Structure 1
Amino acid sequence: MRITSLRAVAVAFVLASSTVTISGTTAAAANSNTISGITDGLARALAGELTDHTVRDTLTKLAPVTPVDVRALDVRGRLGAVIDKANADLLAAKGLPAGAARLSEVRLGSPTMVNALRQGVTPLVAATPNDDNAKTFVAYAPGGKAETLPTATVPRQPVLFVDVDVKTATRLGLAVIDRETARHRKAAPALTAQGGYWATQLTSIRFKDVEEPWFKGAAEIFAVVGGFDLNGDARTDIVDMPYLDDENTTYYPNQLVIHWNRYKYNAADIVFMEDDGDTNYLQLAQALIAALAYLTDTGAYQPLVNAILQAMPGSWWTDDPDFVDACYTLTQQANDTRTCAGANGTVSVRPFWVSEL
């Protein structure tokens, strides 16, 4: 899924140029292999296996519109080392702990390809393009011969895409962000009223103006909530939204997104982001830490989104696929439906009392 608006903000959160060490790993090291390069190499290796009729038969039976582990097609056991190396490289490229999960997966580009695959049409294998605006992509025929295909229309020939398991990556990545930002946060006691505290509940959410190319897999949406903690320091909290899959669809999560006992002022902002597969969570955590270091408590609330924009050099104001939208100045008393700043997101919120047991 691809959601487009206010793209400049995203660059503040996906700063790739620094090599500051976080937990013993450098962002530069995590960037030594790109997601596209890793998945392209795995696509070539898998295409080489498709000359084997047993592998082709397995693929035909699977017809995986829903993603499956790449190992499902390694029926001869010849790709084990290649797959293990790709998974290790993917974890590093996404800034995730080594050995945390297997992230490589494969899927058919479109449900319309299932019949052709089952009728024996020769399949191609490709890495999923990270660029939603790509005009062409490279696919590999059985044996590994490269072909260039346009993205404008869905091919009649089945295309098997090697992709990243973004659901797993997002879950692990948000834990990385929470851990790293917490390490750089001064200790501040949570302000808890007797018997509980107030939170903001997200009762519905909807995004529009979504460009979802046929070749892209599902994206994972998450939110960065920003405000000032009880010490007066800027802080962020990460909220996973794994249910958010489709455009022009209203979801009713009843999810708690802001916990007001953590904040000094009666105002907070929410920035919605997505992982299309190429998000590096270690760099994202690093960017948040760097941006928040510029912010000081002036005795009055200042929007976190604006402050980050002002802190970022103009050279970083470029198109980025990972920003969705931002909602400014949500308060503890907010009980309404509002459109976010980029007019892509519409959210309904209400106060929610979290009582003690």
Structure 2
Amino acid sequence: MRHHHPRRRGAVVSLAASLLALTAGQTVSALPATAAPHPHTPVSAVSAAEEQAARAIAGSLTDTAWRARVGKATLASDDVAVTALAGKADGSLKAELAAADRRIAAAKGLDAGVGPLLRLRLGDDSMRAALSAGVTPWVTAASSDDDATAVTAWDSRGRAHTLDARKAPTHPVYVVDIDGSKALAAGLTVLNKELTRYGVASAKATPAKAPTQAPAAGSRAQAAGGGFWTTRITSVELSDDEEPWVKGDAEIYTLVTGFGQDGAVRVDPVDMPYLDNDGTVYRPNQILVNWSNYKYNLADAVMMEEDGSTNYRDLAKAIATVLLTVTDQGTYIPLVNAVLDAIPNDWWTDDPDYVDSWYTLAQSDNGTRYGARGNGWMTVEPYFVQQF
């Protein structure tokens, strides 16, 4: 389960500049003197906690009974909630993993109540036979680097082994990772709260007008009955890419931006947990834009993926620092460039990754829209949500 990870900013900035030129004089005022914060806790904060957990788990595998229990659980599931499983082990392993969980949550700006995030999985299906035969696995931490050529794994004696990141070894290897879906869901909750706190939110939503091209007969009757118009994703696909076997699954989310009913810029994070595999067409029928939240019949969408080290509180501050300088000039201004400018340069060579962007999605759009980077497409349609 892998995602495409475009990391080159140049083409995006060029396109953004072209669009910005079309709205010259209408876009942004000068940035505030205080620069946006780095929306990352240093990468080592999360990766170091994962590495510590990996080494602790590796050392614990000298216990035959515990090793068999972990092997059985790993063979039975794609990933294992290892902190909970460690509650059945002797010694200090559970305490070590719980401490690592707390450090990861803090590094990502998540609320303390998020609970354990650490997961354990087998590095590759080709390792199942050796694991079943009783070979003691090595343990490594998941990498978020698409370009990694080597990874380090530890054995039960604490010895380090350098492995090819592109070719899975024959020796079984456990990979310590975090529950990306759980972390992203919690992170987007924090992001929403923080964006609202910084004022990147709209006034209370009001029922949206019907699109300029009504999607279906009977829409007047629908509107009369109360409700709001949305843009719904009927199908979506991301491009495929070859990645290291040790890399964990990424989690996809989209930042929908536009001008709220009060004329202020707003950002609505949308979780897309179903986007598991590249090169696969998904048909989620998911609402992407709720037009009752927006003043204009246009919005932008920036699709991202979360690979591990995002601090959602700092991300909200970075986005708000830039977007709060954008003012409503009485006509729609594309906001993709502003969101991309809010992301520090080193994010383009590290996670979370920029996947693709869709400029000026219209309320009346009905059909396939390709992303500006060419890394994905989605088919959308106007959809009326009836209120009862």
Same fold (TM over 0.5): yes
Amino acid of the residue matched to residue 61 of structure 1?
K
Matches within 5 A, 1:198-347: 198-309=229-340, 318-321=348-351, 322-347=353-378
Q: Are 2:71 and 1:70 equivalent residues in the alignment?
A: no
Matches within 5 A, 1:165-180: 165-180=179-194
Q: Matched residue of 2:380: which SS?
A: strand
Query: Is the Cα–Cα contact under 8 Å of residues 202 and 350 in structure 1 kept in the other structure?
Result: yes
Counterpart for residue 55 of structure 1: 66
Equivalent residue for 1:83, pick from 94, 97, 104: 97
Q: Matched residue of 1:68: which SS?
A: coil
- How far apart are residue 80 of structure 1 and its match? 2.0
- Count of aligned residue pairs for this structure pair: 343
- How far apart are residue 307 of structure 1 and its match? 3.0
Q: Deviations over 1:71-119 (max 9, x none)?
A: 3245224312211110100101111011321001111101111110111
Equivalent residue for 1:154, pick from 165, 168, 173: 168
Q: Are 2:159 and 1:128 equivalent residues in the alignment?
A: no
Equivalent residue for 1:40, pick from 40, 51, 54: 51
Query: Is the Cα–Cα contact under 8 Å of residues 4 and 211 in structure 1 kept in the other structure?
Result: no
- How far apart are residue 274 of structure 1 and its match? 0.9
Q: Deviations over 1:271-311 (max 9, x none)?
A: 11111222222222222211212211122111111234456
Query: Is the Cα–Cα contact under 8 Å of residues 228 and 263 in structure 1 kept in the other structure?
Result: yes
**For residues 199 and 79 of structure 1, what CA distance do their matches in structure 2 show?**
49
Q: Matched residue of 2:119: which SS?
A: strand
| RMSD value, Cα | 2.3
Q: Matched residue of 2:113: which SS?
A: coil
**For residues 154 and 190 of structure 2, what CA distance do their matches in structure 1 show?**
35
Q: 1:253 to 1:120 in 2, by over 3 A?
A: same
Q: 1:312 to 1:94 in 2, by over 3 A?
A: closer
Amino acid of the residue matched to residue 304 of structure 1?
L
Amino acid of the residue matched to residue 189 of structure 2?
A
Q: Matched residue of 2:349: which SS?
A: coil
Query: Is the Cα–Cα contact under 8 Å of residues 31 and 92 in structure 1 kept in the other structure?
Result: no
Q: 1:312 to 1:92 in 2, by over 3 A?
A: closer
Q: Matched residue of 1:173: which SS?
A: helix
- How far apart are residue 166 of structure 1 and its match? 0.5
Q: Bigger radius of gyration, 1 or 2? A: 2
**For residues 103 and 116 of structure 1, what CA distance do their matches in structure 2 show?**
27
Q: Deviations over 1:226-264 (max 9, x none)?
A: 001122211100111111100000000111110111111
Q: 1:130 to 1:312 in 2, by over 3 A?
A: closer
Query: Is the Cα–Cα contact under 8 Å of residues 298 and 362 in structure 2 kept in the other structure?
Result: yes
Q: Matched residue of 2:365: which SS?
A: coil
**For residues 357 and 343 of structure 2, what CA distance do their matches in structure 1 show?**
17
**For residues 314 and 347 of structure 2, what CA distance do their matches in structure 1 show?**
17
Percent identity between the two aligned chains = 42
- How far apart are residue 163 of structure 1 and its match? 0.6
Q: 1:335 to 1:316 in 2, by over 3 A?
A: same
- How far apart are residue 120 of structure 1 and its match? 2.1
Equivalent residue for 1:189, pick from 184, 204, 214: 204
- Structure 2 stretches lacking a partner, 5+ long: 14-34, 209-223
**For residues 138 and 349 of structure 1, what CA distance do their matches in structure 2 show?**
44
Q: Are 2:131 and 1:101 equivalent residues in the alignment?
A: no
- How far apart are residue 170 of structure 1 and its match? 0.7
- How far apart are residue 316 of structure 1 and its match? 5.2
Amino acid of the residue matched to residue 4 of structure 1?
H
**For residues 78 and 350 of structure 2, what CA distance do their matches in structure 1 show?**
27
Q: 1:316 to 1:295 in 2, by over 3 A?
A: farther
**For residues 72 and 240 of structure 2, what CA distance do their matches in structure 1 show?**
36
Amino acid of the residue matched to residue 68 of structure 1?
V
Matches within 5 A, 1:15-26: none
Q: Matched residue of 2:317: which SS?
A: helix
271-280 vs 208-217, which deviates more?
208-217
Counterpart for residue 13 of structure 1: none
Amino acid of the residue matched to residue 59 of structure 2?
G
- Structure 1 stretches lacking a partner, 5+ long: 11-16, 21-26
Q: 1:172 to 1:310 in 2, by over 3 A?
A: closer
Amino acid of the residue matched to residue 48 of structure 2?
G
**For residues 143 and 262 of structure 2, what CA distance do their matches in structure 1 show?**
44
Query: Is the Cα–Cα contact under 8 Å of residues 49 and 143 in structure 1 kept in the other structure?
Result: no
**For residues 252 and 43 of structure 2, what CA distance do their matches in structure 1 show?**
26
